[in-house]
């Protein structure tokens, strides 16, 4: 089972009388000026996006960009100031307390940066917490919690307490707890920021594997561009509460919407992210090409040996249709362009 989210014109303003900001001329003020005039902080400003079923949707931004607030607005852990949110077509902001609780109990689960485990409960009881508050009996919830621990690779740690586990293992418990209620939608709030780099990479692999295995819709918050590029089907870049760009990793690196995004992605090796589509040129009239064409979705780096070894340009195809050609002249700038300009 998968899930879709649509968010329209979402605002979250902190401070005294926040509702006066939205929809007035105050709304267009820059953050600092708004704070000076009203004492309010606009954490999320007029954000709209849609997440497809089964997609991994990454929200990326620096600290203070409003990304954690945004993800908390989705299940109203933070009450939005205005705007519409719907999950599977149901308006979240119209839900009463009981309906909202049902949503949180059965359909949406969240993984937190600082884990949020309960120190007085064993690992097994932490994972079973969501089932326990639904009123599921002890035997059944222990069975399911045990399965989840197996899924995240924590067999044998059932009776330990959170403080006895390392950070990475604690986050696996947090992940198992979220998976235990079998939600269609998983929200991750910077889940791996508190972990050291090697563990972080393991956990990213873990998330990709789980996504492939259980096929849920994932909304993933991060400040780490590399993480966003590895995990995201699509990435939304947030700055000062506003969406700057929403697109695939390719879109962001190949066609940044503004200087801010361009600055962000400057150090990304372009050849690792971009596909041939971004460097191909139109075929010249009567040009002879290599026999074997390359698909347009090939990442540049994977095509390097073929293109450099070829005597002739290589055709780029989408299905059977030829959409362009690449040769070494087109390839080389893409391979070196990510190097930072050294000031003279």
Partner 1 sequence: MVAVAGETAPRRVTRRRVLWVLLVVAAVGAYLGFRTAGAADSDDAAAFRFFTGVRNWVDDNRDTSPLFLYGVNYLRLGVRLLVDAVQAGLYGLGFAGLVAAAGAVALVLAGWRTALVAVGGFLAFGFLGLWAESVDTLVLTVSAVLLAVLTGVPIGVLAARVNWVSATLRPVLDVMQIMPTFAYLAPMTLLFLIGEPAAVIATLIYAVPATIRITELGLREVSPTSVEAATALGSTGRQLLTKVRLPMARPTIVLAVNQTIMMALSMVVITALIDAPGLGQNIIRALERVNVGVAFDAGLAIVIMAVVLDRITTGAARRRPATRGRSRWVVAGGALVAVVVVALLPIGQDLPRLSFAGPVNDLTGWIELHWYDATEWIKNVVSAGLLDPLESVLTSTPWWLFVLLVAAFGTLVSGVRSAAVAALAAAGIAGLGLWQHAMQTLATVLVTIVLTMAVGIVLGVWSARHDWFAAGLRPVLDAAQTMPSFVYLLPAVALFGASRFTAIMAGFVYAFPPVVRLVDRGLRDVPATVVEAAVSAGSTPRQLLWKVQLPMARGGLLLAANQGIVLVLAMVVLGGLVGAGALGYDVVAGFSQREDFGQGLAAGFAIVLLGILLDRLTQGFHHAKGPR
Binding positions for partner 1, rule: CB under 8 A: 75, 77, 101-106, 108-110, 112-121, 129-130, 132-134, 161, 174, 177, 181, 187
In the complex, least distance from residue 291 CB atom to partner 1, rounded to whole angstroms: 56
Structure tokens at 186: 């998983």
Shortest reach from residue 76's CB to partner 1, in Å = 10
Nearer Cβ to partner 1 (36/287): 36
C-beta closer to partner 1: residue 116 or 167: 116
Q: Is 233 helix (H, G, I), strand (E, B) or coil?
A: coil
Q: In this complex, which beta carbon is closest to partner 1, that of residue 5 or of residue 253?
A: 5
Nearer to partner 1, 187 or 231 (CB): 187
Q: Which two tokens stand for residue 63?
A: 């600290």
Main-chain phi, psi angles of 97, to 5 degrees: -60, -40
Distance of closest approach, residue 243 Cβ to partner 1, in angstroms: 23
Record the tokens describing residue 326, joined without a space: 């690449």
**Residue with smaller CB distance to partner 1, 49 or 161:** 161
Compute the least distance from the CB of residue 19 to partner 1, in Å: 21
Cβ proximity to partner 1, 191 vs 254, nearer residue: 191
CB of 111 to partner 1, least distance (A): 9
As a whole number of angstroms, the distance between CA 237 and CA 218 comes to 16
Burial class (CB in 10 A: 0-12, 13-18, 19+), 172: buried
Q: Give the separation between CA 9 and CA 243, rounded to whole angstroms.
A: 11
Residue owning tokens 């040996």: 305
Nearer CB in complex with partner 1: 49/129: 129
Q: Token pair 């789980």 is at which residue? A: 210
Structure-token pair, residue 42: 């606009």
Supply the minimum distance, in Å, between the C-beta of residue 168 and partner 1: 17
67's torsion region: left (phi>0), alpha (psi -120 to 50) or beta?
Answer: alpha
| CB nearer to partner 1: pick between 41 and 108 | 108
The span from the CA of 210 to the CA of 62, in Å, is: 27
Taking the complex as a whole, how short is the minimal distance between the CB of residue 225 and partner 1, in angstroms? 25
Largest CA distance in the chain: 75
Nearest CA to 116 out of 131, 103, 129 is that of 129
For the chain, the helix, strand and coil percentages under 3-state DSSP, each to the nearest 5: 40, 20, 35
Residue-wise over 131-150: b if at least 16 C-beta within 10 A, else e? Answer: bbeeebeeeebbebbbebbe
Tell me the closest approach of the beta carbon of residue 207 to partner 1, in angstroms.
18
């Amino acid at each position: 089972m998968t899930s879709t989210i649509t968010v329209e014109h979402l605002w979250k303003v902190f401070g005294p009388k926040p509702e006066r900001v939205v929809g007035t001329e105050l709304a267009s003020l820059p953050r600092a000026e708004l704070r000076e005039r009203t004492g309010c902080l606009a954490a999320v400003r007029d954000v709209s996006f849609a997440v497809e079923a089964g997609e991994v949707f990454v929200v990326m931004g620096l600290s203070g960009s409003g990304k954690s607030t945004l993800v908390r607005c989705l299940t109203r852990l933070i009450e939005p100031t205005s705007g519409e949110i719907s999950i599977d077509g149901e308006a979240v902001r119209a839900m009463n307390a009981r309906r909202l609780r049902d949503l949180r109990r059965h359909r949406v689960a969240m993984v937190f940066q600082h884990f949020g485990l309960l120190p007085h409960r064993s690992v097994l009881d932490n994972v079973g917490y969501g089932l326990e508050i639904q009123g599921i009996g002890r035997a059944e919830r222990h069975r399911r919690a045990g399965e989840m621990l197996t899924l995240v690779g924590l067999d044998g740690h059932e009776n330990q307490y959170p403080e006895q586990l390392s950070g990475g293992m604690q986050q696996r418990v947090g992940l198992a707890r979220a998976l235990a209620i079998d939600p269609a939608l998983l929200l991750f709030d910077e889940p791996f920021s508190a972990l050291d780099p090697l563990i972080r990479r393991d956990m990213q692999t873990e998330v990709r594997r789980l996504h492939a295995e259980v096929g849920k819709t994932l909304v993933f918050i991060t400040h780490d561009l590399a993480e966003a590029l590895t995990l995201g089907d699509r990435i939304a870049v947030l700055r000062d509460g506003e969406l700057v760009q929403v697109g695939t990793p390719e879109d962001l690196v190949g066609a940044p919407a503004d200087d801010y995004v361009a600055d962000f992605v400057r150090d990304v090796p372009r050849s690792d992210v971009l596909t041939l589509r971004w460097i191909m040129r139109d075929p010249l009239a009567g040009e002879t090409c290599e026999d074997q064409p390359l698909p347009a979705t090939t990442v540049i780096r994977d095509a390097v040996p073929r293109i450099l070894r070829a005597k002739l340009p290589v055709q780029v195809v989408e299905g059977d249709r030829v959409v362009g050609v690449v040769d070494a002249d087109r390839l080389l700038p893409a391979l070196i362009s990510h190097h930072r300009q050294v000031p003279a």
